[in-house]
Structure 1
Amino acid sequence: MPTPLTHDDPHAFGPYRPVVRLGSGGMGTVYLARSRGGRTVAVKTMHAGIASDPAARSRFRLEADAARVIGGQHGAGVVDADTRAATPWIATEYVLGPPLDEAVRTAGPLPETTVRALGAALCGALGRLHGSEVVHRDLKPSNILVTAYGPKVIDFGIARAVGDDRLTSVGAAVGTPAFMSPEQASGEDPTWPSDVFALAGVLVFAATGRAPFGQGQPADLLYRVRYGEPDLNGVPDALVPLLGRCLDKNPFRRPSTSELAAELHDGNGEFAEHLPDPVLQEIARRATEVWQITPQRLAAPRQPDPEAKAVPAARPARRRLLLAGGGLAVGAAAVGAGAWAWNRRTAPEPEPPAPGPSNSRLPKKKLDSLWQLQVADPPYGTVPPAQPLAVGNLVSVVAGKGLGGIDAASGTVRWTSDRMEIHWQVATDGDRLVRMVAPPGSDGNAGKPGGFPLLLASVDLDSGKATDPFARLTDFNGVITQNQVLCTADGVVYAAAGAGKYDDYFLASQSWSVFAVDIGTGRKLWTKPLPPRPDRTDRLHFLAAHVVGDSLVALQETDDGKVRAVVRDTRTGSVRWERPLDGVVPRRVQLPMATDAQHLYVGTGRLQALRLSDGTRVWDSQVRRPGRTYGPPTVKGGVVYAVEKGLGLVAFEPGDGRPLWEERGGGGADADLSASPVIGTDHAYSRRASALWAVDLATRTPTASYRTTGDRFLAQEKARVTLALGGRFLAAFPLK
């Protein structure tokens, strides 16, 4: 619906004068504009404040380039642009037709002939993009305009060339959740099959009036997109198998745009002949209405009384906001086992964790876990991700309102806590659970001058309650959220903490240290300084840490987002050696570390082994297997295991990196590179799409698969189970 111009809207964009606003959002505004000769165009702008960001301006320029690539037949042809102006703008033809979502609201679900013609035409549009190695990444009904001559694809704000990651954060899911592909929802780099998945969702919407994965909160939609089955009720019978292939979770099984176009439509007839009368009438109405619009501009608002004083709104501290968020997360799951986890099931097919589509006409798949629990997100967010901890016969996880202890063999919830534990402030050595404890009186009083002492306590594994603190450290501020428990081993806990004023983020005025405390005596064994963090940073100092012999092996994140391996003497805290890990992305190493008595093994791209004694790189996969990509490794029984992209599980000799064997059978082509493999006695377990595959270590071939929502995996040796956490489920699978 057009709205009047505001008093401060620009008066011209090159030769085009704005007439009315067509829409506005957080990034910019779209105007209807005309040239002096009467040419009508749509002008998309970027807010000047956002345009001051070079990356945002580059995105805007790339959007114009992508619009030019698709051209006037399949998109709104670019007429003019100035992406270097103070307020960058792009002028395109004014398309005479409604967005697809409005067309469906006007005419109802479209008939099969219309859906087929629409799909074939959109295949042509995407094929043109993909031929230029551009992926749209946000195809949805509101980005498709229906004209009498065919659909036009618009809004290339997040489109980019395949493999160009300069303007996108690694691991960030961008797009619209209801029409996003599973790989895109997982933060992976989308390629053309992602657009095919989105196109199938658009066609389901056109045929039924609803998205294939329902509606709701973004987190719920992302979950269903990654693990749920699409709802194809109402889709014409002949289209169900075809669209089901396009909606396959595995991108390699989706058809290409040319294959899809051939199965959708034979190309006969004009596009308008396939449109229902209400849509044609709406196109005609818009073609007439555009010439009846007259320029409108609102007057400037009256100036406020200079004597009046504005009262600033109070901004709750980030700590309180996070606590409130934790409460909301628990509210969604506070049924059954206290206020931590709910809906425990041992049946093979669970209920979905949130309302979603049902009665799918595609075959339903079963989750075949030994047991599973539905859990809420941890109270302090999911960055870094919460990891399951194997302690005694339990698995412990921070979720919902706090820490929980579950019998790893049966899935019985033994105890839960409501103390709002922070998951990076809990650690275990396999027998003991240690955590930081909120100092008495600190709730809601994080800004007390001088702060509160830092308290460390063990957790009673029978009740889940913290015992009396074994350490009370007054030289640190115990309420700083970024304090960490790194790990514990041999009766010593290793931690990092700050001193100084509390704030929502790190402060440059804070001083930081890494230190060791004897659990038996509470005595601090040593303290070593850490570099200060810049103001407003919230990245933790440590990504992972582990004790090997007399070495504290750690991966630390630097201020510029790089990763360094740092090895300290556990007796003194002195740094034995440190070195940068080039090309390693911080979020991909927030996992249990792969070490043995001699080496630290690091994956995520290249696979390499660093000697623990001096940091020398002993071997590098790029030497023996150049150009190959690996996920994070696992070492067990004198063998290093890692998943190789496009191949599957590979075993290496730890001393020299010589490949010992490769997975056979071709089942590892879509193996996930984000999770470390879990190694049992006879089998290795590796994630592929939405399943956990078991690979026989003797034959090197897959023997079983288990449907799972998990993306973090852990071997619980005492209970002989593989634990999977992710998608708001904790589940157990065999460990053989």
Structure 2
Amino acid sequence: MPSPLTHDDPQTIGPYQPIARLGSGGMGTVYLARTAGGRTVALKTMHARIASDPAFRTRFRLETDAARVVGERFGAGVVDADPRAEMPWFATEYVLGPPLDEAVELCGPLPEASVRALGAALCGALGQLHASDVVHRDLKPSNVLVTAYGPKVIDFGIARAAGDEHLTRVGVALGTPAFMSPEQAGGQEHSAAGDVFALAGLLVFAATGRPPFGHGQAADLIYRVQYAEPDLTGVPDSLVPVLAQCLDKNPFRRPTTDWLAARLHDGTGEFADHLPDALLADIGRRASEVWQLTPERLPAPIDAPDLAPTAVPVRWSRRRLLGTAGGAAAALAVVGAGARALIEGTGGAKPQPAVGPTNSLLPKKQLDSIWQIQIGEQDRFESHMPSHPRPLADLVTTVTGNLTGVAAQTGRRSWTVPDMDMAWQIASDDTRLVALVSPDDPASDRGTAGGTALLLASLDLLKGEMNEPFARLTDFNGELFPDQVVCTANGVVYVAVGRGRYIHNTFSAAQSWYLLAVDIGTGKLLWRTPLPARRPGTERFYFLAADVVGSHLVALQEANDGTVHAVVRDTRNGAVRWDRPLDGVEADRVRLPLTTDAQHLYAGTGRLRALRLSDGKTVWDSASSRRGRTYGPPAVQDGTVYAVEKGLGLVAFDPASGRVTWEEKGGQGADADLNCPPVIGSDYAYSKRGSRLWAVELSSHLPAHSYKTTGDRFVAHARAKAVIAQGGGFLAAFPLR
């Protein structure tokens, strides 16, 4: 439903005046707007901060084109557009009807007659798209608006031409997990048959009030979609065989939309005749209320700064890859993941908390958090290296399109550094942050090894600006995509950098790579050591995680054969002290902050083991003491190692022997998340289970209380006495006790 405009929403957009907000997300905002003559439209815009990116502009233009293809009969007709504006926008008719998910919430599961009429009409919409060689790829209840004249399909943010591999690449799953096709969930080509699968799932939802593969975490849903049978309990008996055929795992055995339409409905009667009275009443109410809306604009918060953080001039910012040769193609390859952050639909979209320079906090009653702010969806480069919230003095920092610093106690955004969107090129310790940066004028700062010189700078924590670079290394190429700030500690930054020519975001046989140690105070290169060659064409970086413990530079590295190695180097000269493969460890599951103490490196995600830092010998291994048990990533604090055990919950170990000192009681830990390391406080250990963060009392070993959270990454901020959570487009804080 519409919500008031914010103080910084535009007064006009083209010939339209915004009246209210219909929804907002990481990439844009949808407004209810009117012309001077009184025509009401839904107006979709793109955020100015990404409007300079040609890849996102291309995606926005293609979304407009797809909406035109489906037309007014089956979609929200496009009435105006300006994709070349400084802030691109397009306007569609304002659809007078609720999204299907709201309709089912209002009326309960729809009668069979409604489901059949709905399905037949949606077959017509998809058929029109498919006839133009366009597939929707994100058909779900919130993208179908129910009107008295028939359903309308909206939100073509990830629609594309059938067979087109330029805008998205095979191997990346895009869409909404609960309504994906199996091939889409596996990152493969989603054809018209995939839309038929999604349509069948949508009709199961309409008939039962639940998706055919249930609810839960995205990874679980993706697995079920690919391998589990759909739950058709509650679907009318006459519809079960029809929808079951559409939900076949093999796309070649699914029927066409014409076949399905003929078996759903004979086409007689008006669409409204098949709708429940309560739904018709809601449609009528919406039609009446839209004409009663008058512009309402919220005042600027009292604590609003004079200038938005993005207006602060930043002398040294992370380069925009899309400006380099091949960069636009690279962005097009990954833009699909970011497209999921596009606001859902046009008319009837659910309002979301707005992202603004004032960092307004969400009401505490919505969640159990101390504070929560919207920071945007996951970054478009998270497939290369995810961003984790990191404590930094009194702040917590994270990368979601921009580098953001937030006061850990209050949730107030302190600063934003735009365009620093590559988490692997930023590192921090407890007191400082260091990043790879680019010159304002790359042409004037060329290096001798191809591209621009490698520049390193620290961040001014008060102003949120990058300082002048403290190091300028001309014999390395600062433009290479895999250049990586590995970690920083004790006034030294460790960097993996290359020489040679830029090759479309990958490693090349013509490149040579090194690990450097650079003094932050003087900019002096302390040492460099060569790194083994990476397989040409790979986009997987050298370092998965790293930290400094005493004189040890401890790291997890991925070898060319995909195995993960624990490698310890001497911080004084970079010499490798030992290198041990960690069998059974998957690289994508250990891209997390390392777990170490003064004597050991602890590795989980399968077996749990302790490696001695001095020589790499295995001190203990759960494969011997607790054979067959599976563990998530560990945490260590105050002489105890903690990990979540599959099917049990939290378990505590003696770090020297691996002996279990206690196990969680109460039986509530069976569904504990094995992807998140626990966070340890003085009285409680915190572990994610489903959509809640549970506090397990360290004295009784029993779950004590829980907090609702959208987070999937957690870290302790000791100064703020808070557990910081990131995920679902939000950053939040919970009590750490």
Q: Quickly name the TM-score band, shorter chain normalised.
A: 0.5 to 0.7
For residues 417-451 of structure 1, the C-alpha deviation after alignment (integer angstroms, 9 at most, x for no partner) is 12434211111111111111113423899999732
For residues 698-734 of structure 1, the C-alpha deviation after alignment (integer angstroms, 9 at most, x for no partner) is 1111112222221111111111111111222111111
Alignment check: 8 A CA contact 1:691 1:705 kept: yes
2:356 to 319, 325, 337: 337
Tell me: CA distance 1:140–1:487, structure 2 relative to 1, closer, same or farther (3 Å).
closer
Tell me: CA distance 1:139–1:493, structure 2 relative to 1, closer, same or farther (3 Å).
closer
The alpha carbon displacement at 1:380 in A equals: 3.7
Q: What is the alpha-carbon distance in structure 1 between the residues aligned to residue 181 and residue 407 of structure 2?
A: 32
The alpha carbon displacement at 1:348 in A equals: 3.4
The alpha carbon displacement at 1:582 in A equals: 0.8
Work out whether 1:489 is the aligned partner of 2:489: yes
Query: What are the residue-to-residue correspondences of 1:290-689 with 2, within 5 Å?
Result: 317-321=325-329, 336-338=355-357, 344-348=360-364, 366=367, 368-378=369-379, 380-400=381-401, 402-442=402-442, 450-504=450-504, 505-689=506-690
Tell me: CA distance 1:172–1:347, structure 2 relative to 1, closer, same or farther (3 Å).
farther
Tell me: CA distance 1:206–1:707, structure 2 relative to 1, closer, same or farther (3 Å).
same
The alpha carbon displacement at 1:111 in A equals: 3.8
Tell me: CA distance 1:522–1:187, structure 2 relative to 1, closer, same or farther (3 Å).
farther
Q: What is the alpha-carbon distance in structure 1 between the residues aligned to residue 447 and residue 519 of structure 2?
A: 29
Tell me: CA distance 1:697–1:450, structure 2 relative to 1, closer, same or farther (3 Å).
same
1:282 to 245, 259, 262: 262
Query: What are the residue-to-residue correspondences of 1:105-144 with 2, within 5 Å?
Result: 111-112=111-112
Query: What are the residue-to-residue correspondences of 1:216-295 with 2, within 5 Å?
Result: 239-240=208-209, 243=210, 247-249=214-216, 282-283=262-263
Question: Does the residue aligned with 1:622 lie in a helix, a strand or coil?
Answer: helix
The alpha carbon displacement at 1:516 in A equals: 0.7
Q: What is the alpha-carbon distance in structure 2 between the residues aligned to residue 594 and residue 185 of structure 1?
A: 35
Q: What is the alpha-carbon distance in structure 2 between the residues aligned to residue 280 and residue 702 of structure 1?
A: 50
Alignment check: 8 A CA contact 1:337 1:413 kept: no
Alignment check: 8 A CA contact 1:442 1:479 kept: no
The alpha carbon displacement at 1:349 in A equals: 5.8
Alignment check: 8 A CA contact 1:691 1:708 kept: yes
Q: What is the alpha-carbon distance in structure 2 between the residues aligned to residue 436 and residue 140 of structure 1?
A: 41
For residues 37-76 of structure 1, the C-alpha deviation after alignment (integer angstroms, 9 at most, x for no partner) is xxxxxxxxxxxxxxxxxxxxxxxxxxxxxxxxxxxxxxxx
The alpha carbon displacement at 1:491 in A equals: 1.0
Tell me: CA distance 1:413–1:666, structure 2 relative to 1, closer, same or farther (3 Å).
same
Work out whether 1:177 is the aligned partner of 2:183: no
Q: Tell me how large the CA RMSD over aligned residues is.
A: 4.5
Q: 2:702 corresponds to which letter in structure 1?
A: T
Q: What is the alpha-carbon distance in structure 2 between the residues aligned to residue 467 and residue 481 of structure 1?
A: 22
The alpha carbon displacement at 1:285 in A equals: 12
Q: What is the alpha-carbon distance in structure 2 between the residues aligned to residue 183 and residue 717 of structure 1?
A: 43
Question: Does the residue aligned with 2:466 lie in a helix, a strand or coil?
Answer: coil
Higher relative contact order (CA closer than 8 Å, sequence separation 6+): 2
For residues 60-108 of structure 1, the C-alpha deviation after alignment (integer angstroms, 9 at most, x for no partner) is xxxxxxxxxxxxxxxxxxxxxxxxxxxxxxxxxxxxxxxxxxxxxxxxx
Task: Give the TM-score taking structure 2 as reference length.
Answer: 0.58
Tell me: CA distance 1:205–1:419, structure 2 relative to 1, closer, same or farther (3 Å).
closer
Tell me: CA distance 1:671–1:201, structure 2 relative to 1, closer, same or farther (3 Å).
farther
The alpha carbon displacement at 1:490 in A equals: 1.0
Task: Give the TM-score taking structure 1 as reference length.
Answer: 0.58
For residues 14-34 of structure 1, the C-alpha deviation after alignment (integer angstroms, 9 at most, x for no partner) is xxxxxxxxxxxxxxxxxxxxx
Q: What is the alpha-carbon distance in structure 2 between the residues aligned to residue 334 and residue 280 of structure 1?
A: 39
Tell me: CA distance 1:184–1:249, structure 2 relative to 1, closer, same or farther (3 Å).
farther
For residues 136-171 of structure 1, the C-alpha deviation after alignment (integer angstroms, 9 at most, x for no partner) is xx9999xxxxxxxxxxxxxxxxxxxxxxxxxxxxx9
Tell me: CA distance 1:629–1:180, structure 2 relative to 1, closer, same or farther (3 Å).
farther
Q: 1:604 corresponds to which letter in structure 2?
A: T
Alignment check: 8 A CA contact 1:346 1:369 kept: no
Question: Does the residue aligned with 1:375 lie in a helix, a strand or coil?
Answer: coil
Alignment check: 8 A CA contact 1:200 1:247 kept: no
Question: Does the residue aligned with 2:375 lie in a helix, a strand or coil?
Answer: strand
Alignment check: 8 A CA contact 1:603 1:630 kept: yes
Q: What is the alpha-carbon distance in structure 1 between the residues aligned to residue 473 and residue 328 of structure 2?
A: 24
Q: What is the alpha-carbon distance in structure 2 between the residues aligned to residue 267 and residue 380 of structure 1?
A: 46
Question: Does the residue aligned with 2:442 lie in a helix, a strand or coil?
Answer: coil
Query: What are the residue-to-residue correspondences of 1:19-168 with 2, within 5 Å?
Result: 111-112=111-112
Alignment check: 8 A CA contact 2:603 2:609 kept: yes
Structure 1 spans left out of the alignment, 5+ residues: 1-108, 117-137, 142-170, 189-197, 213-234, 273-277, 287-313, 351-365
Q: What is the alpha-carbon distance in structure 1 between the residues aligned to residue 376 and residue 610 of structure 2?
A: 36
Alignment check: 8 A CA contact 2:716 2:736 kept: yes
The alpha carbon displacement at 1:559 in A equals: 1.3
Return the index of the structure with the highest Cα Rg: 1
For residues 609-639 of structure 1, the C-alpha deviation after alignment (integer angstroms, 9 at most, x for no partner) is 1010100011110111100100110111110
The alpha carbon displacement at 1:259 in A equals: 13
Q: What is the alpha-carbon distance in structure 1 between the residues aligned to residue 380 and residue 553 of structure 2?
A: 29
Tell me: CA distance 1:318–1:379, structure 2 relative to 1, closer, same or farther (3 Å).
farther
Partner of 1:54: none
Q: What is the alpha-carbon distance in structure 2 between the residues aligned to residue 395 and residue 268 of structure 1?
A: 52
The alpha carbon displacement at 1:566 in A equals: 0.6
The alpha carbon displacement at 1:511 in A equals: 0.8
Q: 2:416 corresponds to which letter in structure 1?
A: T
Alignment check: 8 A CA contact 1:319 1:481 kept: no
Partner of 2:349: none
Partner of 1:690: 691
Q: What is the alpha-carbon distance in structure 2 between the residues aligned to residue 181 and residue 664 of structure 1?
A: 37
Alignment check: 8 A CA contact 2:179 2:202 kept: no
Tell me: CA distance 1:584–1:703, structure 2 relative to 1, closer, same or farther (3 Å).
same
Tell me: CA distance 1:530–1:347, structure 2 relative to 1, closer, same or farther (3 Å).
same
Q: What is the alpha-carbon distance in structure 1 between the residues aligned to residue 655 and residue 665 of structure 2?
A: 21
Alignment check: 8 A CA contact 2:369 2:707 kept: yes
Partner of 2:718: 717
Structure 2 spans left out of the alignment, 5+ residues: 1-108, 117-137, 142-169, 188-194, 244-257, 267-321, 344-351
Q: What is the alpha-carbon distance in structure 2 between the residues aligned to residue 585 and residue 578 of structure 1?
A: 17
Alignment check: 8 A CA contact 1:648 1:669 kept: yes
Question: Does the residue aligned with 1:520 lie in a helix, a strand or coil?
Answer: coil
Tell me: CA distance 1:578–1:270, structure 2 relative to 1, closer, same or farther (3 Å).
closer
**Residues paired across the two proteins, number:** 488
The alpha carbon displacement at 1:696 in A equals: 1.0
Q: What is the alpha-carbon distance in structure 2 between the residues aligned to residue 719 and residue 466 of structure 1?
A: 25
Q: 2:461 corresponds to which letter in structure 1?
A: L
Q: What is the alpha-carbon distance in structure 2 between the residues aligned to residue 259 and residue 521 of structure 1?
A: 62
Question: Does the residue aligned with 1:594 lie in a helix, a strand or coil?
Answer: coil
Partner of 2:732: 731
Tell me: CA distance 1:732–1:172, structure 2 relative to 1, closer, same or farther (3 Å).
farther
Tell me: CA distance 1:684–1:493, structure 2 relative to 1, closer, same or farther (3 Å).
same
